[in-house]
Structure 1
Amino acid sequence: MKTQSKKAMMIGTLALMLGTALAACGSNGNNGSSADNGAANIQSANGAKGADGAAGPNGGTAAGTDATASPDLSKHVKLTWAALGDPPKDFDAVKARLNEMTNKDLNADVDFVWIGWGDLDSKYPLMLMSGQNVDMIYTAGWLDYSGNAKKGAFTELTKDMLDRYAPNAEQKLPPEAWSNATVDGKIIAVPRNFLEYQDAGLAARGDIMEKAGLTTLSNLDDVETYLAAAKEADPKVVPFNTGASVGDYPLTSFVTRKKALVSVPGLPANMLQFDPLETKPQLTSSFDDPDLLAAYPKIRDMFLKGYINKNVLNNKTPSRDAFKAGQSALAAYGDNQFRDAYNDINAAHPDWRVSFQSFSPEGPFIKLAYDSGMMAIPSASENKERALLFMDKFFSDPNYYMLMIYGIEGKHWAYTADKSQIEVPAGSDPSLYPKWQYPWGFGDWVGFNKPSTTDYPDYAKHVEYMRSAAKDNPYANFKPNIDSIKNEIAALNNVFLKYGGALAYGAVDPDDALKKAAAELKAAGYDKVKAGIQKQLDAFTPGS
């Protein structure tokens, strides 16, 4: 994550103040720690029932619907899955195995289209609104699922459809999950069946940490000291060589992750945030948060000293790739992303003694709502019922889940002797199919996922700490009505795109940029939007 072009600045809206997606999501996007892995991200998931004791979001089977009748699979179909990121090296082999299973079970092939992290801001909304025939796509709050649903981008999953085509998901997902996946009274996606605790940070080199006299990177001052040591060690390498990726927005995260900020649903990601743990949450943005305003000059100084690459706003090479290639001394990672990459990096560069430096190791941590990762069926899908049947397989058949998460058994992964953990088989190359965690949005994570023998040091300890310290989000179901301010939101988005990324990377003078941004925000209706949503936030009953 160039110049001030609009395309480059779109990165600002997607990732500002989140650090990674490391979100996805951040990805890139969803990169938090889940209930497996020796930790416990799971809260009331398996076997949840409706209020009357029947399975599913509404409890029981709709009158006149024979949910036990076998779906019609007589016609062979091709399902298209829109996947985020880039395919693993050995994905073709995994895809071939998947299609063997789906041909037998569902009379269907599954194909994939990929939306790279650097193109997510432009290609994701275009795919949804263009009418492209896609049958399954990941969605979440950070991808504005509520706003997209209001535009008609997703298929409503009716009670009849869930009864008939997704009975296992219906049974295993608790009522709260279905509530999180509901927009204007309509279920628009199949959510995950676990609550996630998300953390993100930087991959750092132990040899440079030692040279800099550091044991941790706790704040921007530490980062600057580290980058100075990296530049001194190798002047030819840009210490933080980052690019236009959702996952490469970390410096402001040393500020924002000291708070429990969440984005307002229905708005472009991070346009307005609030802290749901406050008694009376107040909206803020990257242009008026006092802590961020104080951080921008320091980041600008790092940029001017050559610690950040000059082409940061148009460079599409993620810092993770540059880091692995020895072309960057830092890389942005979610904790699960780093967990998957640790052994690969350590094997290639054992002298680095690579470590994960959390943006905020002591929190605060929020239990992300079930809607922080979901799978939706776009309205343009021509195979809605078959897509839902396929998605349900990930709740009923561990073979589907294990294949997509871990790859081919015996080639990419194997059970330990007691079958309590996953390990890389002897002689296998873990980079061929890393535990890439793609199916964030659905599947019986609670029942099927396994911890790994290759976790980085203290991973389980850190996740256990997050589990014990994480707080419920009493505003998880806050979804404001924005119908009367849509034009202003669109205008504001242009301003955020124009200035957000440049400020977060130090690519512009903050005093000048903030002055210009303030005038443009006012003209675009910032005060009206902020006041209108703040009024709804004030009126919302926490926990409802």
Structure 2
Amino acid sequence: MVKRRIISVCMIMTLAASMLAGCGGSKEKDAGNTTTDSTQTKDNGTAANTSDSKDNKPAGIDTSKKVELQFYMLGDAPKDLPVIQEEINKLAMADLNATVKFNFTTWTDWEQKYKLLLSSGQPIDLIFTADWTQYQSYAKKGAFLPLDDLLPKAAPKLNEFVPKDMWEAVKIDKKIYTVPATWKEYVTEGIAYREDLRKKYNLPKPESIATLEQYLDGIRKNEPNMLPLADNQGYHTDAIRQLTTKTVNSSGTVPYGLNIMYDNPRDVTSYWGSPQHLADLKMYKTWADKGYWPKNVLNVKDSGHDVFASGKAAAVLGSENPNRYNDSVIKIKSTHPDWELGYFPYPNAKGFAQPVHPIHNGFAIPRSSKNPERALAFYEKMVTDKKYNWLTQYGIEGKNFEVEDGKYYKMLGDAQSNGFPREGMQSWAWRNPEFMLFDKSFDAVLQMFSDFDKIAKPDIFQGFPEDWSPYQAEKAALLQVEKQYLYPLNVGLVSDVEGGLKLFMEKAKQAGLDKIQEEYKKQWLKYLDDIGQ
């Protein structure tokens, strides 16, 4: 299969440096003065009458026919979405003769829903993409429209706004299929925990397996009505690999039970079935017996992040990158200002950090779109027009948020009463560094990013465009085997761990594990050849 070259190491690092300057330096200061902009929302916070339809109509496309755009997001919709959608549609009607319907998948079974959306043929005009939604593979399979010719015509401002290096980085087979987010960030994960409880009971900071267990044991002893660890579906397993190894994937493990370390990426082995895998599973059994998570953990629908942010658990391991940790800080501060959170980033254990690859957050136009030009023109507004951007990032000023000290975001009400919290639409993809507002607590995250810059290495994993066509049937079969035999092992529900692992490996091999691992390894090594690794 044809492989693409990703941007060179020097390009990535140059981009990383320039983008950090954008969010941590002058760009942040510029964003802090946005409340003086004459186009900012007025009176009741709506933006209905602030759009100059003459100046804002796109010149390159036909907008004579009114259309409704179908916009698909992952996750759950915020409570005030109808109000925000109404305000956006007032703007979009004046500017583009279009309305938009914001659709959400919920987080329950989102992967299956996402696959169905792209395979059913139903009309969709814009859909979220990311490395973790398999952007590369879907693009190679023709799920999205190429944007190369559309961008200069329908979204010239957006075309110029995104750096050329980033356009190059998201190309699949030399074509652009998604609009990348331009805010540079790190989504390497870490351990978030209740620092106030740690201090209260004189517990160690959870920065290793040993200190994590001591912290969780202390919580179990002193706070018997609180979950020591927030989890569902055994997501702590990926987090432990991040804490204890230098895995090449900075925000999860390598799929199909493979072992690939950053320092030696050509050495591809199997973690599943290894002595280390057995030792880890035995540790999880011990954790389950101690009551670190509930016995029905595999049936918990709320994400570990949400359980932790609601105050029901004392720590969370999986999914807690610096941004999501800050989201927890904001939510907990709004309801329990006397609580204090702590955070240990896995890069501090691994010795290096990887800034996100440009494909990490983006939006694509599916093949099923009936309005690709209008969709791209609308997305340009979301990114480059502050009225659209602030409405969909923060809500209505004066109702959902206010600007504090000229530059800081402040939630109005609390996490329960506020109908549109910061980035309440999972609006990561259309962040604009020139418009971004941060909670005061985010200064700590920006400092963390600055520290990461000192140990930064290029992300060589997320640019890998896996093609699972040769093993699609085996991949589906393996997933079912994982759910039936591995998930219970991950959360300590199998009394005979060694026997359970042996049974899982037998079933996995019957499902085609060897074929999958062999083909994946072949593609991976070819990819490393392409990028000069």
Q: What is the letter of the counterpart of residue 254 of structure 1?
A: I
Q: Tell me the distance in 2 between the aligned counterparts of 1:262 and 1:185.
A: 25
Any idea what SS the aligned residue of 1:78 has? strand
Q: Tell me the distance in 2 between the aligned counterparts of 1:251 and 1:276.
A: 16
**Could you say which residue in structure 2 is the equivalent of 1:48?**
none
Instruction: Report matched runs for 1:307-326 at 5 Å.
Output: 307-326=292-311
C-alpha deviation, 1:196, in angstroms: 3.0
Question: Structure 1 or 2: larger helix share?
Answer: 2
Gaps of 5+ in 2: 1-18, 29-57
133, 142, 146: which one aligns with 1:152: 142
Contact 2:79 2:419 in 1 (8 A): yes
Give the aligned CA root-mean-square deviation in angstroms: 3.2
Contact 2:232 2:302 in 1 (8 A): yes
Any idea what SS the aligned residue of 2:454 has? helix
Q: Does 1:231 align with 2:220?
A: yes
Q: Tell me the distance in 1 between the aligned counterparts of 2:288 and 2:335.
A: 29
Any idea what SS the aligned residue of 1:367 has? coil
Q: In the superposition, relative to structure 1, how do residues 353 and 483 fare at CA in structure 2: closer, same or farther (>3 Å)? A: closer
Q: In the superposition, relative to structure 1, how do residues 129 and 284 fare at CA in structure 2: closer, same or farther (>3 Å)? A: farther
What TM-score do the two structures reach when normalised by structure 1? 0.78
**Could you say which residue in structure 2 is the equivalent of 1:393?**
381
Instruction: Report matched runs for 1:96-495 at 5 Å.
Output: 96-157=86-147, 159-244=148-233, 249-262=235-248, 270-271=255-256, 275=260, 277-284=262-269, 287-288=272-273, 291-331=276-316, 333-363=320-350, 364-417=352-405, 419=406, 421-424=407-410, 428-429=413-414, 431-436=418-423, 438=425, 440=427, 442-443=429-430, 445-455=432-442, 458-474=444-460, 477-495=463-481
Contact 1:36 1:450 in 2 (8 A): no
Q: What is the letter of the counterpart of residue 432 of structure 1?
A: G
Q: In the superposition, relative to structure 1, how do residues 344 and 396 fare at CA in structure 2: closer, same or farther (>3 Å)? A: closer
Q: In the superposition, relative to structure 1, how do residues 352 and 414 fare at CA in structure 2: closer, same or farther (>3 Å)? A: closer
Q: Which moved more, 1:502-511 or 1:112-121?
A: 502-511
Q: What is the letter of the counterpart of residue 537 of structure 1?
A: W
Aligned length in residues: 476
Q: In the superposition, relative to structure 1, how do residues 437 and 175 fare at CA in structure 2: closer, same or farther (>3 Å)? A: farther
**Could you say which residue in structure 2 is the equivalent of 1:52?**
none
What TM-score do the two structures reach when normalised by structure 2? 0.79
Contact 2:65 2:97 in 1 (8 A): yes
**Could you say which residue in structure 2 is the equivalent of 1:497?**
483
For 1:314-344, what per-residue CA distance to the aligned partner results, in whole angstroms no more than 9, with x for missing partners?
Answer: 1102334434554322245332122123133
C-alpha deviation, 1:529, in angstroms: 2.7
The sequence identity of aligned pairs, in percent, is: 29
C-alpha deviation, 1:428, in angstroms: 4.5
Q: In the superposition, relative to structure 1, how do residues 322 and 537 fare at CA in structure 2: closer, same or farther (>3 Å)? A: closer
**Could you say which residue in structure 2 is the equivalent of 1:4?**
none
Q: Tell me the distance in 2 between the aligned counterparts of 1:483 and 1:229.
A: 48
Contact 2:126 2:375 in 1 (8 A): yes
Q: In the superposition, relative to structure 1, how do residues 98 and 117 fare at CA in structure 2: closer, same or farther (>3 Å)? A: same
Q: Tell me the distance in 1 between the aligned counterparts of 2:220 and 2:106.
A: 30
Contact 2:88 2:388 in 1 (8 A): yes
Q: Which moved more, 1:203-212 or 1:362-371?
A: 203-212
For 1:190-236, what per-residue CA distance to the aligned partner results, in whole angstroms no more than 9, with x for missing partners?
Answer: 12224431132343223431355334111233332222222222334
Contact 2:136 2:466 in 1 (8 A): no
Q: Tell me the distance in 2 between the aligned counterparts of 1:479 and 1:41.
A: 33
Q: What is the letter of the counterpart of residue 478 of structure 1?
A: F
Any idea what SS the aligned residue of 2:240 has? helix
For 1:274-300, what per-residue CA distance to the aligned partner results, in whole angstroms no more than 9, with x for missing partners?
Answer: 657324433355515664443221111
